[in-house]
């Protein structure tokens, strides 16, 4: 499959058109950003790790009934995926308090949530990806009530599956972000699932194994991505 | 009715205990703050205007079936009200885009919302009163699902009544904030309803007649409060 036109370059990925109008190629970069692009850097081999981790997790989810955009891995940095009409929401699922939730709830990092918390953010860099409630989403015409319910239900099912997957690999899935899109009237899970989009902590030591090492200058960033890759492939 | 112990001093009001454990006295101050207390000032006679406006509006709402904390006006700055166990949420209803909603939706001030938008904020100065969704409220144990539904329903009914009330007085109710509390197992509307807590625009000129004149240094603050008072009492 040959890449043609560059359709979009994001902070961590490039998306190319292909000869098939329903398929695009996603190329994973080593570029890393945080705090809405204010912090920039590179994480060596991150693109390679995230492409492989995403491949494994999308295959795992698909085998458990979650419709995803994933077609196949083309090489170490490139995946062929379904071209989606993206829903402009970031769907975040949280099992423990971390990141922005600490300040929103006034609760310490690591606090276990009795039930998962789902958050919907407007995917809009210029506005800083603000949190939305369902009235906002309706007023903005982003998604119907039915679609919002479907997104939340699907995200919780992905959470249930991934929690088990990571737990088997001695990792705690603290929280993660999903993006969805439509193709041919069907809602598909899109984007990536990786230490860029998940908070993953070692089950025994609670060591952070994700992009927080980059965000918070904790060191050992490349090692963490490599370690997650090894555990995910095991 | 005699004030006894000062129970609480807020940014715009003082609350005193009385000899009746179920009744407190609220005293309206001229102090004004904005941007979570970062901007401070005084608005001459604001307390007098807000006490009278709140009295008129609470009476109006009660006469239309909304249970409120209001008992009676004691003098020009003081109201006797039911002592409530407050729900720590600010319930905001919006009919047009203004304030924080401009940046959240990326839509211009004044845009009419097809249906009202309800927002729930955690009433917590230290955290900057963050927006919450219903999962946050559940996780924080702030209110049951039933109570949240009741708050939203009651706020929308208040909106319907106040929109008509203000429209008759040539004012557009752009948005407003309510607070609720419990007494004896009953949910009562609490706090105040005034140009401190409502955005009110003149229907013809769209002139701002509320605290935005103070927030945004538009001048004519006292005049605006006096004008709203006159229209509300008419």
Averaged over B60-76, what is the pLDDT? 98
Residues of A in contact with B114 (CB under 8 A): 139
Q: How far is CA B181 from CA A37, A59, B186, B195, in A?
A: 42, 50, 8, 21
Residues of B in contact with A131 (CB under 8 A): 104, 131, 133
pLDDT at A4 (0 to 100): 80
What does the alpha-carbon distance between residue B179 and residue A210 come to, in Å, rounded to a whole number?
40
What does the alpha-carbon distance between residue A188 and residue A69 come to, in Å, rounded to a whole number?
6
Averaged over B65-71, what is the pLDDT? 98
pLDDT in tens, chain A (234 residues): 677 899 999 999 999 999 999 999 999 999 999 998 899 999 999 999 999 999 999 999 999 999 999 999 999 999 999 999 999 999 999 999 999 999 999 999 999 999 999 999 999 999 999 999 999 999 999 999 999 999 999 999 999 999 999 999 999 999 999 999 999 999 999 999 999 999 999 999 999 999 999 999 999 999 999 999 999 999
What does the alpha-carbon distance between residue B220 and residue B227 come to, in Å, rounded to a whole number?
10
In CATH terms, the superfamily for domain B6-82 is Phosphorylase Kinase; domain 1 (3.30.200.20)
- The per-residue pLDDT for range A74-128, each reduced to its tens digit, is 999 999 999 999 999 999 999 999 999 999 999 999 999 999 999 999 999 999 9
CATH classification for the domain delimited by B85-219, as one of 1.10.1060.10, 3.20.20.140, 3.30.470.20, 3.60.15.10: 3.30.470.20
Averaged over B144-171, what is the pLDDT? 98
Interacting residues of B153 by C-beta distance below 8 A, sequence separation 6+: none
Does A119 contact B135 at a Cβ distance shorter than 8 Å? Answer: yes
3-state helix, strand, coil in chain A (%, to 5): 30, 35, 35
Nearest-CA distance B80 → chain A (Å): 33
Nearest residue on chain B to A139, judged by CA atoms? B113
pTM: 0.95
Nearest residue on chain B to A121, judged by CA atoms? B104
pLDDT at A160 (0 to 100): 98
Q: How far is CA A219 from CA A46, A98, A212, A222, A230, in A?
A: 14, 19, 10, 8, 19
Nearest residue on chain A to B124, judged by CA atoms? A106
pLDDT at A37 (0 to 100): 85
Q: Residue A165: exposed, middle, or buried by beta-carbon count in 10 A (0-12, 13-18, 19+)?
A: middle
pLDDT at B2 (0 to 100): 72
Does B131 contact A135 at a Cβ distance shorter than 8 Å? Answer: no
Nearest-CA distance A173 → chain B (Å): 18
Nearest-CA distance A155 → chain B (Å): 14
Residues of A in contact with B96 (CB under 8 A): none
pLDDT score of B63 more than 70: yes
Task: Answer yes or no: same fold for B6-82 and B85-219.
Answer: no
In the sheet that holds A78-82, the strands lie side by side as A6-9, A13-17, A23-28, A78-82, A70-75
Question: What are the structural domain ranges in chain B?
Answer: 6-82, 85-219
Helix (H, G, I), strand (E, B) or coil at A42: strand
The secondary element (H helix, E strand) that includes residue B168 is: helix B145-168
The answer to whether the beta carbons of residues B232 and B132 sit under 8 Å apart is: no
pLDDT score of B1 more than 70: no
Among A181, A190, A87, smallest CA distance to A140 is for A87
Nearest-CA distance A152 → chain B (Å): 11
Does B133 contact A135 at a Cβ distance shorter than 8 Å? Answer: no
Q: Across the interface, which of A113, A120, A139 has its CB nearest the CB of B139?
A: A113
Q: Are strands A70-75 and B13-17 parallel, antiparallel or unpaired?
A: unpaired
């Amino acid at each position: 499959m040959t890449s043609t036109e560059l359709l979009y370059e994001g902070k961590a990925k490039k998306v190319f058109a292909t000869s098939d109008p329903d398929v695009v190629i996603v190329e994973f970069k080593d570029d890393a950003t945080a705090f809405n692009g204010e912090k920039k850097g590179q994480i060596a081999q991150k693109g390679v790790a995230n492409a492989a981790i995403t491949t494994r997790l999308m295959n795992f989810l698909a085998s458990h009934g979650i419709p995803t955009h994933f077609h196949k891995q083309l090489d170490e940095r490139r995946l062929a995926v379904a071209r989606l009409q993206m829903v402009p929401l970031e769907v975040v699922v949280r099992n423990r308090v971390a990141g922005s939730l600490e300040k929103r709830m006034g609760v310490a990092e690591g606090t276990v949530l009795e039930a998962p918390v789902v958050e919907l953010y407007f995917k809009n860099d210029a506005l800083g990806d603000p949190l939305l409630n369902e009235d906002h989403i309706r007023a903005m015409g982003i998604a119907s009530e039915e679609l919002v319910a479907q997104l939340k239900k699907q995200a919780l099912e992905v959470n249930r599956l991934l929690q088990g997957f990571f737990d088997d690999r001695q990792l705690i899935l603290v929280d993660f972000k999903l993006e969805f899109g439509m193709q041919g009237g069907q809602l598909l899970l899109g984007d990536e699932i990786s230490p860029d989009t998940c908070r993953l902590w070692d089950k025994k030591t609670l060591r952070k194994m994700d992009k927080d090492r980059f965000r918070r200058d904790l060191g050992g960033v490349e090692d963490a991505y490599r370690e997650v890759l090894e555990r995910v492939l095991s």
